[in-house]
Structure 1
Amino acid sequence: MFERFSGDARRTVVQAQHEARGLGHGRIGTVHLLLGLLDPGDDPATAPAARALREHGATAEAVRRAAREGAAAPAPRPRRWRFPGSHIPFSKQAKKALELSLREALRFDRRWIDGSHILLGVLRAGGTAAGALESAGVDAEALRRTAEEIARTADRPR
């Protein structure tokens, strides 16, 4: 599935895994994908979804706090079967968000999935990310419109 992901989309997924591990969660959830989107990497210009999230008031600190405090955060899995640095599986909601990101890319007639498509998928899937955005005071509908505009105007993968 990840062969269609642009550079910033791949970085988002890798960063989501780091966030889940850092929070001690046993699965990558939608909130971790959201945190992955909020980290623009080395070049903020390559991450329009991160800019959109910040413009609408979402910060990594607020989302991380909501992930820590949220009762719906993915439960930690027993670590006895996992090696340090090993792969962390996706939650059902995160899988759904990634599947929806492909649908969003196709809706905008794109052959690749970028950060804006992942953001739209996360917004459609709901899950812990929706609660984290609400806690951060983000208007999800306005954010969705901004993400759709980014997806509509994207001309090539980053």
Structure 2
Amino acid sequence: MPATPRPSLYCKMPGSMIIPRSIRSGNGGNKYLAKPVFDHFTAEALQAIIIAYDESRRLGHNYVGTEHIMIGLIAQKTDIAAKVFKLMGINLEDTRLEVLKTIGRGNGFFPVEIPFTYRATRVLDHALAEATLLCHDNIGTAHLLLGLIREEDSVAVTVLQRLGIDDLNKIRNQVNRLLSGENTEAVEEKRLSKIEVTINLKYE
């Protein structure tokens, strides 16, 4: 009898992922994402990023920040991140208003390339790490949301706190529940176990 395949303790995203410096706008307002920047993003995650770009322009900002990514995740409406925000009582209108109160409008100047802020880039890094830890082949809105709440000093998290989210782990628990359907605590234990093993091997 052939041996039963064992799940790999370590998972690697196929190919390579380049964290984007910008999202560009093509002629006629048709937006495109440079390859291979987002090769491993799901269609829903790409949609959220494009919405984030549009939101930045709508607010007159010349950058894409964590707050724009958060609005993109909410406005995407159909995927896991949007469902989690809805479960947590976070809606698009209130979030937009709180973002505006927190950072205000920009001057409306748009460079040729709209850069991601340092923290927004870290959110994308975290999203890749979350997908890898969960052995998922693609980065979805769930991973972006998990990456977002890991940047605790970001504008996005500040806005969430002002909207009444006093414990970011509640968001992670909802994401885990929707991702797997398993017991939330069991999922978190597996994740922490993988992190611990990775850290131990790194320093051996």
Shorter-chain TM range is 0.7 to 0.9
Does 1:140 pair with 2:176?
no
Partner of 1:12: 48
Letter in 2 for 1:98: L
CA distance in 2, matches of 1:34, 1:146: 16
Considering only CA atoms, is the larger Rg found in Structure 1 or Structure 2?
2
Structure-2 residue corresponding to 1:70: 102
The count of residues paired between Structure 1 and Structure 2 equals 143
Provide the rounded CA distance (Å) in 1 between the counterparts of 2:100 and 2:89: 19
Residues 76-116 of structure 1: CA distance to partner in whole angstroms, max 9, x if unpaired? 4772x73xxx5421110000001100000001001100000
Indicate if the aligned counterparts of 1:108 and 1:151 stay in contact, CA closer than 8 A. no
Q: Does 1:91 align with 2:117?
A: yes
Considering only aligned residues, what root-mean-square deviation do their CA atoms show, in Å?
A: 2.0
What pairs with 1:4-153 in structure 2 (closer than 5 Å)? Answer: 4-40=40-76, 44=78, 47-71=79-103, 76=106, 79=109, 82=111, 87-126=113-152, 127-138=154-165, 139-152=167-180
Contact 1:27 1:77 in 2 (8 A): no
Which structure 1 residue ranges, 4+ long, deviate > 6 Å from structure 2? none
Q: Where does the alignment leave 5 or more consecutive residues of structure 1 unmatched?
A: 154-158
Indicate if the aligned counterparts of 1:20 and 1:27 stay in contact, CA closer than 8 A.
yes
Q: Which has the higher contact order (CA 8 A, sep 6+)?
A: 1
User: Separation in 2 of the partners of 1:88 and 1:152?
Assistant: 35
Indicate the structure with greater helix content: 1
Give the percent of matched residue pairs that are identical in Structure 1 and Structure 2.
Answer: 27
Structure 2: which 5+ runs fail to align? 1-36, 182-204
List per-residue Cα deviations over 1:58-85 (Å, max 9, x = no partner). 11112111211114x7x84772x73xxx
State the TM-score, normalized to the length of structure 2: 0.64
